[in-house]
Amino acid sequence: MRLPFRVVQATCHDTDTIVDVVNSDRLYKTVIPSKFYKDPFLTSEELKNYFATMDLTFFLCREGASVLGVGALIGRKDGDGQLGWIFVVPERQREGVGSALVATIERQARARGMPRIILETDGGAYWAISFYQSLGYREYKRTDHLWGYQIWIQKALSPP
């Protein structure tokens, strides 16, 4: 029997779990040419460094002792929020885990007075673009990169 899942704020003890969930991804490998694909996508050292240098709050979606997905709110210097590392383990995608993570992050961003949330993803990541569109996010910019383009997506947040 499946337990109800819940989204909780990560602690400093969750670093390896976050890295494992991020590195479980199989989708980006299908659109990023192998010579540009960074494998592993994220290391514990990199994540610790991001925690030390960025305004970063990570969330986990838990089902009992299992972690089904992760995602972060980044506080930007311009006052906006940014979504980072929203990843759901492949075998539990399309069950609402990603939506639950983003809903929690949006609540947190609203409570912090952030007027807007933005994010960037690979222009070929049709699944991610569809996911964010389903949550009310819209494209506002494209920037070139070595094998294609990055797409920038935004959503205005109503005040709390």
**CB atoms near residue 39 (< 10 Å):** 8
The one segment of 30-38, 44-52, 87-95, 144-152 that binds ligand COA by CB under 6 A: 87-95
Q: Residues 6 or more apart from 31 whose CB is under 8 A from it? A: 122, 124, 125
Size of residue set near ligand COA by CB under 6 A: 20
What x/- string results for residues 8 through 47 when contact with ligand COA is judged by CB under 6 A? -----------------x-x--------------------
Q: Is 128 left (phi over 0), alpha (psi -120 to 50) or beta?
A: alpha
Residue type, 110: R
131 interacts with ligand COA by CB under 6 A: yes
Give the binding site for ligand COA (CB under 6 A): 25, 27, 86-88, 93-99, 119, 121, 125, 127-128, 130-131, 134
